[in-house]
Every structure is written in C-alpha cells, then in structure tokens.
Amino acid sequence: MPTSTPEALVIGAGPNGLAAAIELQRNGVSTLVVEAADEIGGGTRSAELTLPGFVHDVCSAVHPMGILSPFYTQLPLEEHGLVWRQGGASVAHPMPDGDAVMIYRSLERTAERLGRDAGAYRRLLAPFVDTAAELLADVLGPLRIPDHPIQMARFGLRGAFSANRLARILFREERARALLAGCAGHSVLPLEQPLTAALGVLFALTAHAADWPVAEGGSRAIGRALAGCFEDLGGRIETGHRVRSLAELPPARAVLFDTSPEQLATIAGDALPAGYRRRLGRYRYGPGAFKIDWALDGPIPWSDPACLEASTVHVGGTLEEICASERDMYRGRHADRPYLILCQQSQLDPSRAPSGQHTGYAYCHVPHGSNVDRTEAIEAQVERFAPGFRDRILARHTMTPADFERHNPNYKGGAITGGVADALQLFNRPVTRLDPYSTPNPRLFICSAATPPGGGVHGLCGYWAARSALRRLRRH
C-alpha cells in the first residue's frame, strides 16, 4: 500500500468504482482505487478467448447506457482512447417466418416495418425521443423528486405494466409485441412481472437516442479511458491486491465498495452492525447467465441479412416464446428454446477479428448458480434463425455462472446485472435506506450495481455513491 494516506479508498476498479473515484478526485478528495485482479475494468474486460487475433468481450459487449450516460458524457473519455463504433441499427429481432424486426435510430423508419402497429409504436415512444437525455437523467439514479416530473409520470404510466401486458394492450401483431419483449428481456425477470415494461420501453428509447455502440478494440477500452481520466486528476490505482479486511487498509475518511453486498459484509466485518450485515445477507442476486463466444470464418448467415446491420440481435421468436423462456429460468428450469442476447461486435469494429472473419457472442439467462451446459440449446436457437451458422464456427469459448463469479466476485451465482431489479428491489438495494449508498458506519459506502440504478456500464451507481460520500465528508 502507498506510504501517504488517501482521503478516500475505492475497493474495486470496475466502471462504477472508477466513476466513484473520478467524482471524488475531481471534487478535491485524494482517492486510491484498490483492485483485486491484475487488470482493471471489472465487467468491461476483453481477451482472446478463442483463437489468436479474435478479441472477445468477457462480460459487457454493447453499451447503450454507456454512450448516453449522464456521467460519462461529462468526461473526456475520447482523449483517453475510447472510440464508440456504431452500426446501421441497434436491434434486430428475427421472427419465425424468416423476416426481422429492426430498431433504427429513426422512429419513423422503425415504425414502417411494424405494419398495423406502426401508429401504436410511434405513440409509445414519440413523447420521449426528443427529451431522452432528460428522462435518462431522472430514471438512472436513486428514488428522488425528478427534475422533469410530468415526463416521468408519462413514462411511469407505460412502465408500470408488465411487458407482456403492455405488448398485448398496445399491439395487435406479433412483430411489435416480440420487439418490445426482446428489449424487456434485458430485465432478467419474467415478463409477466410489473415494471418489466419500463425496461422494455427504456431500451427501445435508447436505440432512438443513439445507435447502440461497441467500444473499438474491446470493452476494455472503457475501463482504460475511465482510469486515464482518474489518473489525470491525480488519482492512483493499485492492482493485484485483494482486500479481505478493513484492517489491511490505511485509515481513509471514506471507503467505497464496488463489490457485492456479500463482499461488503465480509470485508467490513464488525465495522458494520450485525443487523445490517444480516440484511445484506438477504439480498437477492437472481438468475445467472451462460455465455458463448465464437470465432467465425464469416458473418452469421441470418435468414434476413438486415440482422447484420445491428449491434445486438434478440433471438427468441415471439412474445409467447420469450415469456416462456424467462419464466422458466426464474423458476429454476432451463428452456428448450432460450431467449438470447447476441452481439455482433466485429460487424461494427473490424479490429475484433482477422480480415474476413468475425466474432460472435451470445448468452441466455439460467437459474442462479446453474451448472448445466447450454451450448447445444444456444447454438440450435441461432441456427434456427441463421441456417448454416454452425458451419461458420472455428472455435468457441463458454462461460457458466461459476465462471462469471470467478472472473468477477460481484457476479454472485452468475448474476451479471448485480441483483434482482424487481418492484421490491429496484430502489431498495442493497437494503432499504433513505440513502442506499450509505451504511450505518459513516465511513463506509457501497457503489456497485447492487445500488440504484442497477446493472449496466453507465457509472451512475459510482457517481451517486460518491455524491453521498462527499456530503458526509463535508458535514464532518
């Protein structure tokens, strides 16, 4: 550890930990970041997982919340090497008839492919398209009085429904219903649950605000850019130091944990009241993920070639099929036809693979801690909408929930979004407190995705936690 004592310590150098460190440092609080791994980045690391020359994203791949983050847009990330690469569309959703539904940045162009539901889709999204940045600033944070209450109320009237219910109320045809379900599937919840419509509408909206991007050279470029901003401000990062107890750390005035609630309780120990630690122990992490990365000898042969325009393909078929898949995983079962989130990074960023070749990435949601190999089910589902896909595979690399947790202990049981974000735990995370980033110990704070607004590479959990810590430091 350094000889000089920093005013603040951040444990964990993921996007939220680095965001918290930047906000503290730029407000005059000398900050040290301590990372257990030898490489910074948390969920934004990249590696040659299959064959030499094929760069794969270990966890996060496509970053709609990154390019639109109200915090990241304040930072000179491009000066530190971050280049967003965007395609012609954000989302493709292949249908069983071979045609695909697309989300383009243009609301009108997207609606044109929705037949009788074109008008309903316009009415759903049009009120928010021109003010998407304002809505995101209100939504992506702790529960508080919004800066734009009328807009938030309008959004809430749509978002309070389940995705299944809203899709059936608004739309008459399967194409639009499936499109909303594919976006809502990012919630990692059964689509019959309340508030899943909110995430579906929000993800669709982000696609009309900016084409969903990948980071040039791999998602690792995001962590490196954040680290560069932090170090330019005078901050310091120490890697390869796993913190097991507060006793290992210098006596900083504030310690922020970019960790799971379980790790916070373990490391802090008796520095936190036993009752609070018990409450942390009741935190619900939720389902996990099973992911495959492929090295491919060409682009994925989608039945509808328009799918190649999109950074993300939601593979799952109809609304009914997606609902069944997500209902199964939440009940501890493995769907025969899983809903997949598939990313095509090399379509946007040719540096990810040798010339003429491509990378592929897809994951499905599985029960917490599952050890079931989903390779066959995932590849069969892709083959269903892209005949001949298996013939393009040069090599594959799989990650189970246990692999995700080994890679990053924040992903307890493979829960890559940081924990369940249902109506009971959306804002009451990790426990119910007026200030969810604070703890009963005035020196200790939590800044991971286990706090509002939850999962996603946006840095806002870290930003809001840093604001909480700054208020405490100024009072004392």
Read off the pLDDT of residues 229-263 as tens digits, 9 standing for 90 and up: 999 999 999 999 999 999 999 889 999 999 999 99
Query: Are 244 and 367 part of one and the same domain?
Result: no
Strands, sheet with 393-399, edge to edge from the N-terminal-most edge strand: 100-103, 89-94, 310-315, 340-343, 358-366, 288-296, 393-399
Residue 4, pLDDT score: 66
Question: Long-range pairs for 50-53 at CB < 8 Å and ≥24 separation?
Answer: 50/293, 50/294, 50/295, 50/359, 50/394, 50/395, 50/396, 50/397, 51/295, 51/394, 51/395, 53/353, 53/354
Q: Is residue 227 part of a domain?
A: no
CA distance to 102, 140, 166, 197, 462, per residue, from 204 (Å):
11, 15, 14, 11, 25
Amino acid at 169: I
Distance (Å, whole) CA 407 – CA 114: 41
Closest CA to 404 of 285, 289, 292: 289
Q: Helix H segments across 299-364?
A: 319-330, 345-348
Domain end (from 407, 430, 455): 407
Closest CA to 464 of 70, 31, 43, 67: 70
The parts of the chain modelled with pLDDT lower than 70 are 1-4
What's 24's domain CATH number? 3.50.50.60
Q: Is residue 62 part of a domain?
A: no
Contact predicate 94/381, CB 8 Å? no
Name the CA radius of gyration of the chain, rounded. 21
Domain end (from 386, 407, 428): 407
Dump pLDDT digits (tens) for 321-361. Answer: 999 999 999 999 999 999 999 999 999 999 999 999 999 99
Query: What residue numbers bound the domain in which 427 lies?
Result: 8-38+239-284+418-475
Amino acid at 167: A
Distance (Å, whole) CA 19 – CA 42: 12
Query: Are 383 and 251 part of one and the same domain?
Result: no
Domain end (from 351, 375, 407): 407
Residues 6+ apart with CB under 8 A from 30: 6, 7, 8, 234, 235
Residue 476, pLDDT score: 77
Contact predicate 326/365, CB 8 Å? yes
Query: Are 248 and 301 part of one and the same domain?
Result: no
Dump pLDDT digits (tens) for 413-438. Answer: 999 999 999 999 999 999 999 999 99
- What's the angle, vertex CA 133, arms to CA 132 and CA 137, rounded to 5? 115
**Coil, helix or strand for 393?**
strand
Query: Are 290 and 271 part of one and the same domain?
Result: no
Q: Is residue 166 part of a domain?
A: yes
What's 98's domain CATH number? 3.90.660
Amino acid at 326: E
Q: Is residue 388 part of a domain?
A: yes
Query: Are 275 and 183 part of one and the same domain?
Result: no
Q: Is residue 302 part of a domain?
A: yes
Query: Are 157 and 272 part of one and the same domain?
Result: no
- Total domains in the chain come to 2
Query: Are 328 and 437 part of one and the same domain?
Result: no
Query: Are 373 and 302 part of one and the same domain?
Result: yes
Q: Is residue 43 part of a domain?
A: no
Query: Are 278 and 323 part of one and the same domain?
Result: no
Query: Are 198 and 326 part of one and the same domain?
Result: yes
Query: Are 402 and 431 part of one and the same domain?
Result: no
Q: Is residue 382 part of a domain?
A: yes
Tokens matching residue 219:
């998602």
Query: Are 187 and 302 part of one and the same domain?
Result: yes
Residue 5, pLDDT score: 84
- φ/ψ region of 401 (left if φ > 0, alpha if ψ in -120 to 50, else beta) reads alpha
Q: Is residue 130 part of a domain?
A: yes
